[in-house]
Structure 1
Amino acid sequence: MSVQVALWAGAQRLGAAGIAAGPREARLLMAAALGVAASRMTLHLQDDLAADAAARFEALLARREAREPMSHILGARQFYGRAFKVTGDVLDPRPETECLVAAALEERAARVLDLGTGSGCILLSLLAEWPEAEGIGADISVAALAVAQENAERLGVTAQAAFQEANWFEGIAGRFDLVVSNPPYIGLGEMAELAPELAHEPRGALTDEGDGLGAYRAIAAGVRERLVPGGRLLVEIGPTQAAEVADIFRAAGLCAVDVLPDLDGRDRVVTARSA
C-alpha cells in the first residue's frame, strides 16, 4: 500500500468519527508516523508504506478516532508563533487565548503573575516577547507545573520564569505589574455539552464545578493586594460571562474595567486596573 492510499483511508476513518478536518489531521498523523515534516508529505505520497510506519499510523489514527486531541497525540501545540509541549495534564492552548496575550503586550510589564498557568503558554509567550521581564506561573497542579517548566526550557526563558504550586494567590509574595489568567470558567451544567476532545483535558482546568464564576471571585478577592498601583488584570472568559465578570471586578474595587472581543467578535477578555 502506498502512503497516499493509506492517507486517503485514514482521512475517511476520521471523517466517519465526526472529525471535520479529517484530511488535514490524517496528513499530520502520517507525517508523524513517517518521521517527516508535514510540509514535505507531498514528496512521500507515492512511497510504499513500510510495515512499522503503517503500525504507527494505525495507532495514531485509533487515538484520534477516540477523540483524543491532536495536541496530545503529537505532543505539541502552536500558540502565538511558538510550539508548546502539551499533555493530558494541561489545558490545550487555544487560538482565542492569543487575544489575551496580544492585549497584555500593549503595555509593558516588568513583573507578571499567571494564575492557573497550565502549559505556561500565556506567561511564557509574554516573557519571550519581553526579555527584560520576569514572572511567576502558579498552578494547583504539580504535573501542570512540570509541563510549564519544560516549556520554559524549550523557549529559553528559564532565567525569567519561576513556577509555584499555589491555589490562586496562596503563598504568592510581592506585587506585580500584570496579573493574567485563563481560569476554569465552564459551568457544571455545561460540561455534558462539550466536545468529546475536552474529556481528555484536566477537568479542574475547565470547570469550577459550580456556576463558572468561582475563579473570578477568588481572583477579585486577592488581586488588589498583588497588583502595584495602576497594575493590570486580564482574564479570559466564556463568551456569555462578560457582564457578570465585569460586575465582580467592579465590586472588588477594581477600576477601568473593559471587555475585549476575540477574532470572531465574541466577548473573550475582561481587563481591569488597581486603583
Structure 2
Amino acid sequence: MEIGRLYRSVRDRFREAGLATPDLDAKRLVGAALALPVSDLILKEWDLAGEEAVALAQAYARQRLAGMPVGRILGERDFYGRRFFLNAATLEPRPDTETLVDAVLERSAPEDAMIVCDIGTGTGAIAVSLLAERPNCRAIAVDLSADALDCALRNADLHRVADRMLPVRADFASALRPSSPAVPGTGFDWVVSNPPYIRSAVLAGLSREVTEHDPVLALDGGEDGLTAYLRIVPEAASLLRAGGRIGLEIGYDQADEVKKQLRHHGFGEIEIIGDLSGNDRVAVARKA
C-alpha cells in the first residue's frame, strides 16, 4: 500500500468517528508506524509501506478509535518543544502546563543558579523543561509514585539533565524540611506544582480518554478540588527562601480560593496568569 493511501484511509476513519483532531492524529500515528517524520508523509506518499508498518498503523488506528489518546498509544508526548516518555503512573503533559514553565522562566534570569522543587513531578515535564532551559538550575523532583519517578528520570536522561535533578519519593513535600540534607542552602528559589485539582464529583464526567487512561491520583483534587493546595502552599512557605516564589497550575475557577491560601500563609505579589485560551491557569506569588 502506498504511504499516502495508508494515511488517508486512517484519516478518513478518524473523521467518520468524529475525533477532535483526525488529520493530526492520523499523521502522528502513521508517521510513527512508518518511523517517518510527519512532513515525509506527503513527500513520500507514492512510496510503498511495508506490510509490518501497515499492520502497525492499522493497530494504532484501532486503539485510537477505542478511545486511547495518541500519546498513550505511542508512549510519549511533546511538551515545551521536547519529547517526554509516559507511563501508566503519569499524566500526559498538556500545553496548558507550559504556561507554568513560561511563568518561571520569565521571572528568572538565564544565568540564575536557582534551585527548584517540583511537587508531583509525574513525567518530570516541568522540572526537566526548566533544567533544559536554565543550565545553572538544579531541581528536586518529588512524587508519591515510584513508577512516576522512574519515568521522570528517564526523561531527565533523555534531555541530559539527570545530573542536576534529584528524585525524591514522598507525599507532597513531607520528606523535605529546611533542615533536610536534600534542601541545599537556606531554601528553594522556586516551588512549582501541577497538582490534582479536579473536583471528585466531576471526574466521572470527563472524557474516556482521561478517565480510562490518566491516573486518578494525579487528577482527583478532593471534594472542592483544593485538597492539594492546602498541603502544598504551607509546605512551600516553609521550604522557600525569603523572596522565593511559588508557581501553581490551577483550575479555571480556583484563582480566588488559591489566592486566599497564599495570603494566609504569608505570600505577596500574587499574580494569576491566563493560558492561551484566556482561562486562569497559573498562580505565582513571592514569599516575604
Give the TM-score normalised by the residue count of structure 1.
Answer: 0.95
* 1:221 alignment counterpart: 234
**Take 1:93 and 1:190, find their aligned partners in 2: how far apart are those partners?**
20
Establish whether residue 182 from structure 1 lines up as the match of residue 186 from structure 2: no
Establish whether residue 198 from structure 1 lines up as the match of residue 210 from structure 2: yes
* Contact 1:71–1:87 (CA under 8 A) maintained in structure 2: no
Establish whether residue 253 from structure 1 lines up as the match of residue 266 from structure 2: yes
1:62: how far off? 1.1
* Contact 2:153–2:167 (CA under 8 A) maintained in structure 1: yes
User: What percentage of aligned pairs have identical amino acids?
Assistant: 39
**Take 2:59 and 2:210, find their aligned partners in 1: how far apart are those partners?**
20
**Take 2:221 and 2:274, find their aligned partners in 1: how far apart are those partners?**
23
Instruction: Pick the aligned partner of 1:142 from 126, 146, 149.
Output: 146
Establish whether residue 152 from structure 1 lines up as the match of residue 164 from structure 2: no
Local SS of the residue matching 1:162: strand
**Take 2:90 and 2:18, find their aligned partners in 1: how far apart are those partners?**
24
**Take 1:130 and 1:237, find their aligned partners in 2: how far apart are those partners?**
24
Establish whether residue 208 from structure 1 lines up as the match of residue 221 from structure 2: yes
Local SS of the residue matching 1:105: helix
**Take 2:16 and 2:189, find their aligned partners in 1: how far apart are those partners?**
49
1:44: how far off? 2.6
**Take 2:80 and 2:232, find their aligned partners in 1: how far apart are those partners?**
25
1:7: how far off? 2.0
Counterparts in 2 of 1:118-133, with a 5 A limit? 118-133=122-137
* Contact 2:3–2:41 (CA under 8 A) maintained in structure 1: no
1:3: how far off? 2.7
Counterparts in 2 of 1:46-125, with a 5 A limit? 46-108=46-108, 110-125=114-129
CA shift digits 1:146-188 (9 cap, x unpaired): 0000000011111111101011111113220100000000001
Aligned amino acid, residue 270 of structure 2: V
* 1:264 alignment counterpart: 277
* Contact 1:136–1:161 (CA under 8 A) maintained in structure 2: yes
* 1:241 alignment counterpart: 254
Please identify, of 59-68 and 35-44, the stretch whose mean Cα deviation from structure 2 is larger.
35-44
Give the TM-score normalised by the residue count of structure 2.
Answer: 0.91
**Take 2:24 and 2:276, find their aligned partners in 1: how far apart are those partners?**
22
CA shift digits 1:188-215 (9 cap, x unpaired): 1111221221120111111134221000
The root-mean-square deviation of aligned C-alpha atoms, in Å, is 1.4
1:13: how far off? 1.8
**Structure 1 alignment gaps of length 5 or more:** none
* Contact 1:113–1:178 (CA under 8 A) maintained in structure 2: yes
